[in-house]
Amino acid sequence: MLLSSSQLIAQAYSVDSLMVLYQKKAEKFLVKSSYVNRLFKIDYRGIHIYTSYSRRQIDHPEFTLDWHDLETFKRVIKYSSVDYQYEMYRKNAFDIFDSTMIRVADILEQNHFRPPVGTLKPLSGLRIAIDPGHIAGDLRTAKAEGRFVEMTTSSGETLSIFEGELTLSTALVLKDSLEKHGAEVMLTREEGNQSAIGVSFQYWRRNYLPGVLRRRGYSKEKALSIVKNAPEGYIFSKFFNAIDLQARARKIDEFKPNFTIVLHFNADITNKGWQRPSQKNYSMMFIPGGYLHNELNNPRARFEFLRSLVTENIEESTHLSSCVLNEMEASLGVPKVAEDENLHYLERYSMKVEDGIYARNLKLCSTLNSPICYGEALIQDNEEELRELSKNDLKNGIIAPRIQQVANAYFKGILQYVKQRQQDKDYW
């Protein structure tokens, strides 16, 4: 069908607006290293993803998303599984958005569950995933994952806490509040020392690690030597952590949440060795983005980059995180991290979006197909916080008042976000 001159002008204007929109979004949220610009191109045809700069120079893309297929692509992303989306990307076929694919998108959308409107409970029908960061339920496991504080305060008290217990305690309180207000909530882990795989790190080391090592090409003798002799911290960081994070991501995406809350507590990295308590205190949030020069070196990563670019997950993550972070500042009396803290991981690996919120290519930020609030609440080794957090004893059913305050700050921020989002009846 031939287009009229007015239709051609309108189409050109629309394409020009899309080019500007996505180029600005890439610059603001996604491109931390200038090298990333070499692996994608936005032009009048659409968005092109390349495996290398040499491929870009000869204009041989791995995948091209034409502008006229953009809305179908976004619908498939919103309503289908991550594995289905990636398989579609890997087909490397530029005609995948044919009439059959449009019908598939229609079916997926029709079968998408939408929360009921006008119910008495403000969160009715919403699915919220919570990921309690780390796994430690005892000091041994906390030392293996390197997430513990053990020190003597200025008053002579020797106190110890481990982040895995703090995050799980926070998750249990938050889950209770969300469910009482109508939400369906899923935790990636529900017990101390339990990973998202469903077993403890020590059990995994004894029973799963030998097979993992053999599949990675280690000899039987070398595998047995690592299992028996390697430090637990080495095994945790080199082998276990990535597998656990992958399991968390899969559980979350199979749950298909409206959004995800990832719970962590921060620590003062300038407080070397944690020999004495810190006087610093602040909170921060991470959202998807902030790709470095070597972080688009495989097809899955490039697909995740494209998904982040064209969906609204980044914008919604920012909105959700802003609501929660503002509530943390108001309820906990803990400020947002200031730029003059000069934290190397914010300077080197992150892109500031707004005060206290940074785009960073953390594993869960990049892999999840939902808006995400990745929270780093307060400083654990701050003397006052350490004293309050050490009152937590989840094994004996004691949740510290400070933990309850943190959970309530998340809860109030979520309520504020949902209230604002529900003004758009078609959003969910």
Do 26 and 56 belong to one domain? yes
Q: Are 40 and 305 in contact (CB under 8 A)?
A: yes
pLDDT in tens, 333-382: 999 999 889 899 999 999 999 999 999 999 999 999 999 999 999 999 99
Do 48 and 139 belong to one domain? no
Q: For tokens 């209230």, what's the residue?
A: 419
Do 189 and 99 belong to one domain? no
pLDDT for residue 324 is more than 50? yes
Greater confidence (276 vs 93) lies with 276
**Cα–Cα–Cα angle for 114, 117, 119, rounded to 5 degrees:** 120
Per the domain annotation, does 221 fall within a domain? no
Per the domain annotation, does 220 fall within a domain? no
pLDDT score at 321: 98
Greater confidence (308 vs 7) lies with 308
Over residues 235-249, mean pLDDT: 96
* pTM attached to this predicted model: 0.91
How far from 87 is each of 82, 103, 246, CA to CA, in Å? 9, 18, 18
pLDDT score at 113: 55
Give CA torsion, residues 28, 34, 35, 37, to 10 deg: 50
* Domain hosting residue 329, numbered range: 127-194+229-421
Do 139 and 82 belong to one domain? no
Sign of CA dihedral 292, 34, 290, 249: negative
pLDDT in tens, 176-229: 999 999 999 999 999 999 999 999 999 999 999 999 999 999 999 999 999 999
pLDDT score at 100: 61
pLDDT score at 427: 57
pLDDT for residue 138 is more than 50? yes
Do 265 and 349 belong to one domain? yes
Per the domain annotation, does 210 fall within a domain? no
Burial class (CB in 10 A: 0-12, 13-18, 19+), 397: exposed
Do 147 and 25 belong to one domain? no
- Number of domains composing the chain: 2
Do 240 and 93 belong to one domain? no
pLDDT score at 175: 96
* % of the chain with per-residue pLDDT over 70: 89
pLDDT score at 153: 81
pLDDT score at 95: 56
Helix, strand or coil, per DSSP, at residue 283: strand
Per the domain annotation, does 171 fall within a domain? yes
Over residues 311-318, mean pLDDT: 96
Do 245 and 348 belong to one domain? yes
Do 251 and 309 belong to one domain? yes
pLDDT in tens, 52-61: 999 999 999 9
Per the domain annotation, does 204 fall within a domain? no
Do 49 and 100 belong to one domain? yes
Question: For the domain that residue 140 is a member of, what is the CATH number?
Answer: 3.40.630.40
Per the domain annotation, does 145 fall within a domain? yes
pLDDT in tens, 94-121: 456 666 666 666 666 666 555 555 557 8
Do 294 and 385 belong to one domain? yes
Q: Are 66 and 50 in contact (CB under 8 A)?
A: no
Per the domain annotation, does 2 fall within a domain? no
